[in-house]
């Protein structure tokens, strides 16, 4: 490990950071629309992005700085179990190919900005809509915090501030500056800023990974030596337990498989994923993206290999923070100028998703809490103004989280976010194909899944760790450990199914469905705004359709 500030790497990092900052502010003029005050323009980029812009935006959105740091860190810490991220990103694309085009079509037709907008329109239930919105917001907050953790890890390795500094202002000033820049251009340019910056971010990441996967093994003696040294490192026991393994043990396979499956089901239901999808200009754009986005899974597989390389290069030691392993590997193995490029890739890789996440959370609050519960007559311009302010507050909350709380808490809350988001699948994905489930039954199922998932995650805490401690527990009907989120999802579906039968038998009011069957399969233009409804973005009321689309 090098001591002091790496001036060359820091200089390269600052150059790229300034370049994307300029791009972020210039994005406000990119594809500028006639009505920049409409929430569609600020929060969805005018719904105008084509195949390649959407591809880079989704890639920048889903494959974050924390992915860059955390996936190989999981490999570094425990071995093969960290590879679950690779199959889950492969499984997810065939799944989302089935429902994302339908979500885009109905949202385009009715002017929906969030998934909760769709829930309110489909089931005629503000309660269910608000529940889904709150789930999205609380699941997104720690995710934004972890992007800032990724930036902080890079700054620590470069020797800027540093976690060992006794002066909190010196330690956190670089992060505060990065936060201020992110907040400023997001407020100014909305979704167009991360969409434009995503081109730079993805290009840098692909360059760094291609170089790393060739150059680092060459310096370490080849892949044979990398795997041999990594295997020896995993064999070292602590309290009689090996550190990890190159191949998952049989008893870990159910946990691995269910975690991959549950994560695949949840990935595209995060608010930032939905926001990126709804920003595209056509249904075919979404379909094409689900066929080419697996290229990022190839990148992720190569990225995960860096965890083995960090072990082979003897990065860190006992008690070492695994989140610093990959930045430190780059610092040790690359010339300073290219280490700066790699650090810039991670840093910019944090800015893009953090911007999208804050916009998505702000859209949820504005559309499904502020407009639906506080000010139903809010105009589009007022909604945009509220979203801009809330996006700042969301980032401030994430910053406070990072500066005041144990980073392990943030990591575990982010894992809990996946459990929570999975509980929105019956309402969102189910609602895209059928209206058979009763709105009250879906709400009860959501509550059951959320309660069970949160309780079981908390149960995994150790005596020395009094916060949410894991996402894997014994599956009752199998007798093997598995992903808590998937077990909670099964409970969710079961409750919703049984209560739907009961509520239908009692003829409980099912709510009005403002969509019709054709809304889910066409690319028709949005309906014109209703002049009698203040702030109406253009919604076609349709007819109730109990049988579903």
pLDDT, residue 549, reads 34
How far apart CA 65 and CA 352 sit, in angstroms, is 9
For the chain, state the CA radius of gyration: 23
Place of tokens 């005629």: 124
**8 A C-beta contact, residue 482 and residue 473:** yes
Nearest partner of 276 among 371, 188, 389, 194, judged by Cα: 194
- C-alpha 539: how far from chain center: 29
Dihedral (Cα; 227, 228, 233, 234), 10-degree rounding = 60
Q: CB within 8 A of 180, min separation 6: which ones?
A: none
How far apart CA 400 and CA 396 sit, in angstroms, is 6
How far apart CA 242 and CA 238 sit, in angstroms, is 6
Nearest partner of 342 among 9, 38, 20, judged by Cα: 9
Alpha carbon distance, N-terminus to C-terminus of the chain:
60
- C-alpha 359: how far from chain center: 12
- C-alpha 69: how far from chain center: 14
DSSP string, 513-535: ----GGGGT--PPPPPP-TTSTT
The burial class, CB within 10 Å (0-12 / 13-18 / 19+), for 262 is: buried
- C-alpha 351: how far from chain center: 13
Phi, psi of 190 (to 5 degrees): 65, -145
How far apart CA 17 and CA 157 sit, in angstroms, is 17
Model pTM? Answer: 0.86
How far apart CA 504 and CA 149 sit, in angstroms, is 48
Nearest partner of 67 among 420, 326, 338, judged by Cα: 326
Counting as low any pLDDT under 70, the low residues of the chain are 1-4, 31-37, 161-172, 237-242, 317-320, 405-413, 461-470, 472-480, 523-549
Q: Which fold has domain 7-410?
A: Sodium/glucose cotransporter (1.20.1730)
**8 A C-beta contact, residue 342 and residue 330:** yes
Place of tokens 């699941």: 139
The residues with which 49 forms a beta bridge, in sequence order, are 280
DSSP string, 44-57: HGGG-B-HHHHHHH
How far apart CA 155 and CA 176 sit, in angstroms, is 12
Place of tokens 């689900």: 290
Nearest partner of 448 among 489, 476, 502, judged by Cα: 489
**8 A C-beta contact, residue 364 and residue 271:** yes
**8 A C-beta contact, residue 478 and residue 254:** yes
Other Cβ atoms within 10 Å of 455 Cβ, number: 11
The residues with which 241 forms a beta bridge, in sequence order, are 238
The residues with which 245 forms a beta bridge, in sequence order, are 79
The burial class, CB within 10 Å (0-12 / 13-18 / 19+), for 245 is: middle
How far apart CA 237 and CA 540 sit, in angstroms, is 64
280: helix, strand or coil: strand
């Amino acid at each position: 490990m090098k001591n002091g500030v790496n001036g060359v790497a820091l200089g390269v990092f600052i150059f790229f950071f300034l370049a994307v900052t300029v791009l972020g502010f210039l994005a406000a003029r990119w594809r500028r629309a006639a009505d920049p005050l409409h929430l569609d323009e600020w929060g969805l980029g005018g719904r105008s992005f084509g195949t390649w812009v959407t591809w880079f935006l989704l890639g920048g959105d889903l494959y974050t700085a924390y992915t860059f740091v955390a996936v190989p860190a999981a490999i570094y810490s425990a071995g093969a179990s960290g590879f679950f991220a690779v199959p889950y990103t492969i499984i997810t694309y065939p799944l989302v190919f089935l429902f994302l085009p339908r979500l885009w079509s109905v949202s385009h037709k009715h002017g929906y900005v969030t998934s909760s907008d769709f829930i309110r329109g489909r089931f005629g239930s503000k309660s269910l809509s608000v529940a889904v919105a709150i789930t999205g917001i609380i699941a997104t907050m720690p995710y934004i915090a972890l992007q800032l953790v990724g930036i902080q890890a890079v700054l620590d390795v470069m020797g800027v501030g540093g976690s060992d500094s006794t002066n909190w202002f010196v330690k956190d000033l670089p992060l505060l500056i990065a936060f201020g820049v992110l907040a400023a251009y997001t407020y100014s340019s909305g979704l167009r800023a991360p969409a434009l910056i995503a081109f730079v971010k993805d290009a840098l990441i692909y360059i760094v990974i291609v170089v790393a996967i060739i150059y680092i093994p060459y310096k370490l003696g080849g892949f044979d030596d990398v795997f041999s040294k990594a295997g020896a490192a995993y064999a070292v026991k602590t309290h009689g337990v090996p550190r990890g393994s190159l191949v998952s043990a049989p008893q870990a396979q159910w946990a691995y498989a269910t975690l991959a499956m549950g994560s695949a089901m949840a990935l595209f239901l995060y608010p930032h994923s939905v926001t990126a999808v709804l920003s595209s200009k056509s249904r075919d754009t979404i379909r094409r993206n689900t066929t080419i986005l697996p290229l990022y899974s190839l990148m992720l597989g190569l990225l995960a290999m860096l965890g083995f390389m960090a072990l082979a290069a003897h990065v860190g030691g006992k008690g070492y923070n695994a989140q610093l392993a990959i930045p430190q590997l780059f610092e040790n193995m690359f010339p300073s100028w290219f280490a700066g490029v790699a650090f810039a890739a991670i840093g910019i890789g944090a800015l893009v998703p953090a911007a999208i996440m804050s916009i998505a959370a702000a859209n949820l609050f504005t559309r499904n809490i502020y407009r639906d519960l506080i000010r139903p007559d809010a105009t589009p311009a007022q909604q945009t103004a509220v979203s801009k302010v809330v996006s700042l507050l969301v980032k401030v909350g994430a910053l406070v989280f990072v500066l005041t709380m144990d980073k392990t808490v943030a990591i575990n809350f982010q894992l809990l976010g996946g459990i929570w988001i999975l509980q929105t699948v019956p309402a969102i994905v189910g609602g895209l194909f059928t209206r058979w489930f009763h709105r009250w039954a879906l709400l009860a199922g959501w509550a059951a899944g959320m309660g069970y998932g949160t309780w079981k995650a908390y149960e995994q805490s150790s005596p020395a760790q009094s916060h949410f401690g894991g996402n894997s527990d014994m599956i009752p009907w199998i007798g093997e450990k598995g992903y808590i989120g998937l077990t909670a999802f099964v409970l969710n579906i079961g409750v919703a199914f049984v209560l739907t039968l009961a509520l239908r038998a009692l003829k409980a009011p099912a709510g009005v469905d403002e969509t019709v069957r054709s809304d889910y399969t066409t690319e028709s233009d949005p309906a014109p705004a209703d002049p009698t409804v203040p702030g109406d973005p253009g919604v076609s009321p349709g007819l109730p359709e109990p049988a579903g689309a």
